[in-house]
Amino acid sequence: MFFSKIWFFLIALAATVALTIALVMPRPAERAHVENEKQRLVVACSVIDILLGDDARNRVELASAFASKVEIVSALEAASGVASIDEARMKSVRAVGESVMEEMKGKRKPDFAVLIDKRGRVVARVALDQNDFGDVAAGRPLVDDALAGYLRDDLWSHNGTLYLVTAAPVVKRETAAYAGAIILGHQVTNALAQRLVKSLDVDVGFYLGKDEVAGSKTLAVEASPLVDAVKGIAGADLSQDCLANKPIPITAGKDSYTALVARLPGEVSARQAYYTVFIKRPAALGFAGTLKVVNQSDLAPGSFPWILVGGAFLVMLAIGIALMMMESDRPLRRLTAEAVRLAKGETERLSEDAHPGKFGSIARSVNIHIDKLGREAKSAKKDMDQLLGPSPEGSLGTIDLLATALPAVRPGGSGPVSSPPPSEFKFTTAATQPGVTPAAPPARPTGRPGTPPPTTPAARAPTPPPIRVGTPTPPAMPVTPAYIPVAPSGPVTAPAPMPPPPALSLDDDILGAAPEATPAPGEQGAGTDYFEQVFDQFVTMKKSCNEPTTGLTLAKFSEKLVKNREDLMSKTGCKDVKFTVYVKDGKAALKATPVKED
C-alpha cells in the first residue's frame, strides 16, 4: 500500500495547492481592484475640484458683467448717497436687478442676487429673501473684498442649502469710484452634481455635516464614516485633500461603496461642508464574490481548458486505480484463494511470505491460531488417551474401545501370567479339542431387558483356545474350574493339557463373560435398549468379519459400555456418549464419541 498512499498524498497535496491558489488568487486581484478604485476616486475628486474651479471663474465673469451694467451702477450710486434705504428705493433697485438677471438666462442665470451700496448696506435682494433690505453685509470676507475692488467666490449655506456665491465691485467708469458691490449666488443642486460627474463614471455628493445637500444619485448613505474621515483630514491646504485622503468603505442600504472625501472651501468649512466621490464596490471581491460573478461564458470551451483538465483527471484516476489493484485488490484475491484452499484441506497453513504488508500479517495471525488449535487438539487427544487409550488415527474426540488391551486381570480374580498368544490366535470351540466334551453354552435372553430368561437355558462354557500347530506344547498347568468343561452325562474324559491363558484384551473382557455375570432382569438400568442395539450391531459385524462370537453376552457387553460411558462423561463433562460399530484391520471394533449437546 506504500505507492497508493504516496499517490493519494500527492493528489491531496495537489488539491491543497490548487485550493490555496484558488483562495489566494482573488486577494492580489482584490488589492489591484482596490488600488484601481483609489486611482479612480482620486482622479474623479481632482477632476471635480478642477470643474468647480472652472465654474468659479465662469461665475466671476458673470458677476463682473452683472456689475458693469449701467443700470446697476446708477442705482447703487444713487443709493449710496442717501442716509437710509426706504422700501421704494429697494423696490426700484430690485426691479433693476431682476431685469438684468432676465438678460442672463443663456449664461447660467443666478439663483439670487444681492445689491450692496458702497457703505455695505443691502439695498435690495432678488429671488431670495427679496423683502429684506437695509441690513449691513459688510464684515463678511466676500463682501469686504468686493467693496475693496476684488473679484471673489465663496460658498455660503442658507437654510440647509449650499450656494456657490461670487462677488464683484460696482465701479463708475467715468470717475473710477466705487458705487458698491453685487453678489450672485448659484445653488448646489442635483443637476449640478450630475453635470460634474457626467464623464467620470462615479457619483458625487455634497454634505453639510451629516446632511446631504445634493448628489448625482439619491442614496441613503450612512454619513458617519464620512464625517469621521473629514475630521481626520490634516493640513490647511484643501487642494491636497483628494491626494492625501484614503478611500473608505460606506454602505447605502444593502449596497457597499468606496468613497473619498474632500473639504469645501469658504465660509461653509466652519460647518463641515464637504463633497464625496464614491463608486460601488463590485461583488467579485474575495473567493466567494468571484464565484458569484462567474457566468456561462467564463466556462465556455474557448475560455476554459476543459480538455486539459479532463485529461489530467483521467490520468490521475487511472494511476490511482492501477496502484490500488496492484497493492490491494490482487493480494486480497490471492489471500482469499489460499484461504479457500485451506478450508478445503488442500493446504495446512497460509503462506506468509507470498502475501505482502498487512495481508502477510493476516496470514501470520491465521497460522498462529492454527498452531494453537493443533496444540489444543494434541492436549485433548493426550487426555483421551490417558482415559480410554489412544484414539484411532484421524478421529479426534472418538475413543476406540477395542483398540487396546485391558490389564491382565479377570473380573473373577487374577489369572496366570504368560506371554500373549500369537497374532494367528483364534477362538475355537471345545469340539475342536480332542478328548473334551463341550458344554452347552448359556442361552442368550430372547426377551427385552427386564424380562426373565427362559426356564431351560443351554449352558455354554467358554472354549479354551487350541494349541497352534507346529509349536511346542507348553508344560501342563493347573486347570482352574472355570476352564474345565463338564459334560452333562456319561463318562468323563480327561482333558488334554491346556496352554497358559493369554493376556486379556477388551475382546476377552467382553467375550469371556461368565454366566453368573449376567444381570438380573431390571438391573441393566437406562440405556439397555440402546446397548442391545449396539450389541446386535457388534455381533453382526463380527460375523461379517468371520470372527467367533462364542461367549459374547449382552450383560458383559452392556457392563463394559456403561463403565466406559461413565468414565468418559466424568472426564470430559459431555452430556452423553455415542457408541459406533466399525471395521478396523478386518475386525469388528467399537468407538465411543462424546456428545456435547442434547
Same domain, 229 and 264: yes
What confidence tier does 405 reach under pLDDT thresholds 50, 70, 90?
Answer: very low
The domain of 517 spans 399-416+501-595
Same domain, 144 and 129: yes
> 416-462 pLDDT, tens per residue?
444 444 433 343 333 334 444 444 444 444 444 444 444 433 334 44
More confident residue, 312 or 303: 312
Same domain, 145 and 234: no
Specify the range with the lowest mean pLDDT, choosing from 273-277, 306-310, 495-499, 512-516. Answer: 512-516
**Stretch 532-538: mean pLDDT:** 90
* 116 domain-assigned: yes
What confidence tier does 200 reach under pLDDT thresholds 50, 70, 90?
Answer: confident
Q: Which residues pair with 162 in a beta bridge?
A: 157
Same domain, 140 and 282: no
**Stretch 481-509: mean pLDDT:** 45
Same domain, 242 and 277: yes
Same domain, 213 and 322: no
> 203-245 pLDDT, tens per residue?
999 999 888 899 988 888 888 888 888 888 877 788 788 888 8
* 60 domain-assigned: no
* 444-to-86, 457, 486, 581 alpha-carbon distances in Å: 170, 8, 20, 21
* 442 domain-assigned: no
CATH number at residue 103: 3.30.450.20
- Parallel, antiparallel, or unpaired: how do β-strands 587-595 and 399-400 relate? antiparallel
**pTM score, whole prediction:** 0.48
Secondary structure, 3-state, 390-401: CCCCCCCCCEEC
Report, in this order, helix, strand and coil percent for the chain, each rounded to 5.
Answer: 45, 15, 40
- For position 104, what pLDDT does the model report? 77
Nearest to 434 by CA among 398, 482, 466: 466
Share the mean pLDDT of the chain. 75
Same domain, 105 and 236: no
Same domain, 405 and 521: yes
* 492 domain-assigned: no
Same domain, 136 and 172: yes
Q: In percent, how much of the chain has pLDDT > 90?
A: 17
Q: Which of 155, 171, 187 lies at the terminal end of a domain, its last residue? A: 187
Q: Which of 270, 292, 314 lies at the terminal end of a domain, its last residue? A: 292
Q: Assess whether pLDDT exceeds 80 at residue 174.
A: yes
Dist CA 451 CA 453 (whole Å): 7
* Backbone φ/ψ region at 149: left (φ over 0), alpha (ψ -120 to 50), beta: left
**Stretch 480-491: mean pLDDT:** 42
> 545-594 pLDDT, tens per residue?
989 888 888 888 888 888 888 888 888 888 888 889 998 888 888 888 88
* 496 domain-assigned: no
Specify the range with the lowest mean pLDDT, choosing from 102-106, 288-292, 296-300. Answer: 288-292
Q: Which of 292, 322, 350 lies at the terminal end of a domain, its last residue? A: 292
Same domain, 406 and 552: yes
Dist CA 427 CA 548 (whole Å): 6
* 55 domain-assigned: no
Same domain, 243 and 363: no
More confident residue, 429 or 120: 120
Number of domains in the chain: 4
Same domain, 409 and 558: yes
